Structure 1
Amino acid sequence: MNSRQKWLLLAVGLGIMLNPLNSSMISVALIRLQRTFGMEYTSASWIIFAFYIASAVAQPVMGKASDVWGSKRIFLAGQTMVFTASLLAPLAPGFGWLVALRILQSIGTSMMAAVGMALVRIHISAKSGAALSALSLFLSGAAAVGPFVGGLLTYWGGWEAIFLVNLPLTAAGYLLARKVVPDDAPLPANSRLSALRSRIPTLGIPGMLLFAFGLTALLLGILSAKSSGHAGPAAISLMSLGAVLLIAFVRHEYRSPSPFIPLRTFHENPALYRVNLEYVLVNLLYYSLFFGMPPFLQTVRRLSEYQTGLLMLCLGLCSLAVAPAAGKWVDRSGPRPALTGAAVLMTLGSLLLTAVTSHSSFLGIAASLAAFGAANGLNSVAMQAALFRSAPKTIIGVASGVFNTSRYLGTILASLLIGLVMGDRFTAAGLRWLGGGLTAVAFLLLILSRRHQPEKEDGR
């Protein structure tokens, strides 16, 4: 890679890291927020759910928007939105306002995450494995060190600090991206507004609305049932409405000449479906540990936010240590071996959880975290490489958006699984049951990883 491409990677990395960083810092601050606003854990968890629901909807929407209006425009707008939301969040007069600003923050970070990979795919064609490895240092590194950063900030500056830390990051990222990211194709000079209007039909607005409202209604129904402990009429109505709208979305997309998500192209590339299914499972496994371990350490083992973040750092350090080698491995052998190795590590880490007690040594807990961290470093590169192999360049923006939506669906499922197993009280027994469930999921992922074509059959 030349110097300009390296600066491009840095600019994209500073942008895409904000989504995993902000989604992970909150894991250690959640108990503090619960106590500050005087609510139960399940109610306080809505600050997590809202972020992921908004991300799940916004990722493909922003990916599609970048395909139509240009990646750089969307990327810079995302930086501005995150800066604004992070500036206002500490001033929120109540928890509802804080959740609303988290949604705005989520949409802004999703704008960058959805187009960041597309920018790399378009502008860096040689040594794509090395480029993906570099980006994974931002993605997996931010997600994995987020609990430590969040614990440190919360311990010394309160929950407000986890929002304020975004201000210098977004300011620096905006200035760098504005300078080094190649400009989008210029809009016609005669009327920029009319040019934008002329591109609106290609967005697939009807399909976009069906997808957004359907997915939101379905997830709200599921999460409402989880929060209340039973599926009442309101939750059932929301889930039913969501299912009907998503079915209508699928029917519309297959028939529309300008679909929001080109399902026909996905149908012609079955590997796209498999990659997204695997990504759901990968994130179900990872975030079950990610969100389940900090409350256990704080409530059962009585660690402070700082101590919890320090122990969770095992996750980040192992991800960062593995990612560079993962890029070289994927370039040399394709994604299949790395995906299989990651599945084996997640199986091992899940099995270690089944042996945890309230008196287990921190070394045993760290071993499980290390296994998941190393697996995350492998998956960060190999899953993206598998996506790029299966997605045509013409839809890389929306394909990246759908791919990231799969991540958030896995994350939401992880939160639901934790609530189902733990409820409002975290115990060692609950963590063992969680480990047993994750072992079964990890074994399924191991089977799916073996279905990827070996490198020699990929036509390279």
Structure 2
Amino acid sequence: MNARSRWLMISVCLGILLNPLNSSMVSVALPSLQNVFKLDFTGVSWIIFSFYIASAVAQPVMGKASDLFGRRRIFLAGLVISFAASLLAPISPYFGMLIVLRVVQSIGTSMMVAVGMAIIRIYITERQATALSVLSIFLSGAAAIGPFIGGVLIHWWGWPAIFLVNIPFVLASFLLAWRTIPKEEQSALLAARDMTFRKWVAVVDVSGILLFTVGLVALLYGLLSAKSTGQISSGSLITLLIGLAALGGFVRYELKTKAPFIPLRTFARHPAMTSVNVQYILVNLLYYSLFFGFPSYLQTVRHVSEFHTGMLMLTLGLTSLVTSPLAGRWIDKSGPRPALLMSAILMAFGSVWIVTLNQTSPVISVCLALAAFGISNGLNNVGMQAALFQSSPKEIIGVASGLFNTSRYLGTILSSLLIGIVMGGKFSFGGFRWLAVILTLIALSLVFMNRRRRGSGHLQEMEGSSSSS
């Protein structure tokens, strides 16, 4: 790899790490934001919802936009948008404005994630597999150490620091990207200029995106409002109905349109791939319920400082990072099923262990639960991707990867919803235990699914052997 390719690699990595880093740092900031803006736990949860909903929509849209306007332009525009959001968020006088800027930040960072891997594939031709693996390490590593970084920053400089820390990364990435990412051919850009607004709306599937976003936000708002107040008011009921109607309209529209935002027909045609995506939703629902719930438990129930919360959460990140390469070797030899079964067992063990925790449990018990989830996450990072490739036909692997990312975001959004419903307006120790009980049931369902997949896979191998003989 020559010097220009190395600097190109660094510029892309510095940009794409901002999305996972900002999605994970905020987990330690929830109690601080709750105190500063005088919110209940349900209200502050929207700092999580907003980011993941915007990412789920923005990443596929920006992937399509890059084909029309050029990957270099999208990447640089994403850096500018991220810079503006990171600069303005710390001075937000109201939580509503902070949510808006959080959405803007999510869109900006998603623009870089959407085109970063494509830039590496196109412009780095030497040792491309190594370059892509480094990119994956930056993505997973930033998410893993985010709570630790967030804890240190908030402890010393307060919650605004988790936004301001982005600025040096953005400036360095922009300067390098401006010099190293080649400019696209003018023919593609001219084609984009000639495209009418109506064609652009059809290509991006704006109608589907609007139905999906309105439906999801309305449904979440209605459910959380009802839980927070303890009763279903007429306003909450109307919001719930609007959400259900919009999501129903979304499903109907996506089944008819030629260029769907989420190609739902693909699920019906490929049940094995659908099963993997359902499992991936459950895996992320379980993992991120712990990821966002545990820091609040440590700070609100155990009265642990932001700094020490970040240190404890580092157990989760480091075990995940160490496990991933080891999982790759295991899966290369044995396939994804044994690793995914072990992951489900570890998540069940970790969830049961959380139920046994109390307000005075030793630190080693806390670290043991976090380590169980960290190891399981490392196994899932590799195992679920391998299961996707194994279950998806080669001709639709691009679509399958897009659906896979959507499943991850859905699981993450559902985890925040689950925490909000269980906790209501106030995070409590009793609610945290009930959350652990629910996570145990989800983990046991994953154990059952993986044992069943193992059995069905063994049956298919036997049938294949008998037919060939």
TM-score (norm. length: structure 1):
0.86
Residue 127 of structure 1, CA deviation = 9.6
Deviations 1:328-353 (A, max 9, x none): 33444443333222222211211211
CA distance in 2, matches of 1:445, 1:260: 28
Could you tell me which residue of structure 2 aligns to residue 210 of structure 1? 211
Could you tell me which residue of structure 1 aligns to residue 432 of structure 2? 431
The code of the aligned residue for 1:53 comes to I
Could you tell me which residue of structure 2 aligns to residue 19 of structure 1? 19
1:216–1:45 CA distance, 2 compared to 1 (3 A): closer
Kindly indicate whether the alpha-carbon contact (under 8 Å) linking 2:69 and 2:189 is maintained by their aligned counterparts in 1.
no
1:428–1:199 CA distance, 2 compared to 1 (3 A): closer
Residue 130 of structure 1, CA deviation = 6.6
Could you tell me which residue of structure 2 aligns to residue 282 of structure 1? 283
Could you tell me which residue of structure 1 aligns to residue 467 of structure 2? none
Could you tell me which residue of structure 2 aligns to residue 157 of structure 1? 157
For 1:354, what is the secondary structure of its paired residue?
A: helix
Matching of residue 74 in structure 1 with residue 86 in structure 2? no
Residue 259 of structure 1, CA deviation = 2.9
1:275–1:269 CA distance, 2 compared to 1 (3 A): same
Residue 361 of structure 1, CA deviation = 0.6
CA distance in 1, matches of 2:401, 2:391: 11
Describe how 1:376-455 pairs up with structure 2 within 5 A. 376-390=377-391, 399-450=400-451, 451=453
Query: What is the number of residues matched between the two proteins?
Result: 457
1:402–1:369 CA distance, 2 compared to 1 (3 A): same
Could you tell me which residue of structure 2 aligns to residue 354 of structure 1? 355
For 2:30, what is the secondary structure of its paired residue?
A: helix
Describe how 1:133-152 pairs up with structure 2 within 5 A. 134-152=134-152
1:397–1:177 CA distance, 2 compared to 1 (3 A): farther
Residue 45 of structure 1, CA deviation = 2.4
Residue 105 of structure 1, CA deviation = 0.8
For 2:420, what is the secondary structure of its paired residue?
A: helix
Deviations 1:362-394 (A, max 9, x none): 101100101111111222223234344555677
CA distance in 2, matches of 1:231, 1:329: 50
CA distance in 1, matches of 2:62, 2:322: 31
CA distance in 2, matches of 1:10, 1:345: 35
- Structure with bigger gyration radius: 2
Describe how 1:31-430 pairs up with structure 2 within 5 A. 31-66=31-66, 71-116=71-116, 134-178=134-178, 186-188=186-188, 192-195=192-195, 200-390=201-391, 399-430=400-431
CA distance in 1, matches of 2:112, 2:397: 14
Kindly indicate whether the alpha-carbon contact (under 8 Å) linking 1:210 and 1:246 is maintained by their aligned counterparts in 2.
yes
Residue 129 of structure 1, CA deviation = 8.3
CA distance in 1, matches of 2:181, 2:280: 28
Comparing 50-59 with 360-369, greater Cα deviation is found at 50-59
CA distance in 1, matches of 2:386, 2:178: 27
TM-score (norm. length: structure 2):
0.85
Residue 106 of structure 1, CA deviation = 1.4
CA distance in 2, matches of 1:208, 1:374: 35
Kindly indicate whether the alpha-carbon contact (under 8 Å) linking 1:136 and 1:323 is maintained by their aligned counterparts in 2.
no
Residue 424 of structure 1, CA deviation = 4.0
The RMSD of aligned alpha carbons is 3.4
1:277–1:116 CA distance, 2 compared to 1 (3 A): farther
CA distance in 2, matches of 1:70, 1:387: 29
CA distance in 1, matches of 2:13, 2:184: 19
Residue 84 of structure 1, CA deviation = 1.3
Kindly indicate whether the alpha-carbon contact (under 8 Å) linking 1:266 and 1:273 is maintained by their aligned counterparts in 2.
yes
1:293–1:74 CA distance, 2 compared to 1 (3 A): same
CA distance in 2, matches of 1:153, 1:53: 25
Comparing 335-344 with 155-164, greater Cα deviation is found at 335-344
1:209–1:302 CA distance, 2 compared to 1 (3 A): closer
1:60–1:192 CA distance, 2 compared to 1 (3 A): closer
1:364–1:256 CA distance, 2 compared to 1 (3 A): same
Kindly indicate whether the alpha-carbon contact (under 8 Å) linking 2:144 and 2:320 is maintained by their aligned counterparts in 1.
yes
For 1:302, what is the secondary structure of its paired residue?
A: coil
For 2:249, what is the secondary structure of its paired residue?
A: helix
- Which structure has the higher relative contact order (CA within 8 Å, separation 6+)? 1
Residue 89 of structure 1, CA deviation = 0.9
1:4–1:381 CA distance, 2 compared to 1 (3 A): farther
CA distance in 2, matches of 1:92, 1:432: 34
Q: Which runs of no fewer than 5 residues in structure 2 stay unpaired?
A: 465-469
